[in-house]
Chain A
């Protein structure tokens, strides 16, 4: 089946650092979504991307829908402690139904000890 490769799987951040993560696929997607999930909670939508090449910001977060429609990245600038959590990318495959999003396995952000 279709898969999303999300990387990195985990990373440690120091307050103030910029963070970057991405998702790639071998197939084309219509929509890319980025969610954040805190422990014991459901995913919360951060950014939604609907067109190839689209670049969208939400505060310190910026995400882009790749031109090839096979990838997307999420950047977090000047990270703060509350950025800790798991970030998921999700995509709606071309020709797929709206509810059947494909999810990445997540990028876990932790604070450097």
Chain B
């Protein structure tokens, strides 16, 4: 139990469906992240939210739409996805995100268990 909870753990959706992934962190952190993990590729950062404000969008297609209503919750809304979007989507959090500058001790990133997404 890392303190970062993701639901659903598994999701199968058609290309015309609209679905959402949910993440909740119980660590009192202020920064939350979405990462994508595809087979045989390194983890890729998608979005960063710091104090509910989006601070990074790593050139993610608009069919992925994040939402951060408060510092504890993060959503990833999905619509008109493609089969190549099938992957493990990981939510993560850290104490804060202060832009450039070294990660300080105690501000490390903690991951949730992930949501396996299959687009058919």
Contacts and interface: CB of A to CB of B under 8 A. Distances in A.
B43 interface: yes
Contacts, number: 85
Contacts of A105: 40-42
A48 B95 CA distance: 15
Contacts of A64: none
A90 interface: yes
A50 B31 contact: no
Contacts of A48: 103, 105, 108
Nearest to A91: B103
Nearest to B88: A42
Interface in B42-73: 42-43, 45, 48, 55-56, 58
Interface string A81-101: 000000010101001111111
Interface residues of B, number: 35
Interface residues of A, number: 28
A45 B103 contact: no
A97 B102 contact: no
Contact of A42 (B41, B56, B101, B113): B113
28 contacts: A31-B103, A40-B116, A42-B2, A42-B4, A42-B90, A43-B90, A43-B111, A45-B108, A45-B111, A50-B105, A90-B43, A95-B100, A96-B100, A97-B55, A97-B56, A97-B99, A97-B100, A98-B94, A98-B97, A98-B101, A99-B55, A99-B97, A99-B109, A100-B58, A101-B43, A104-B42, A105-B40, A106-B42
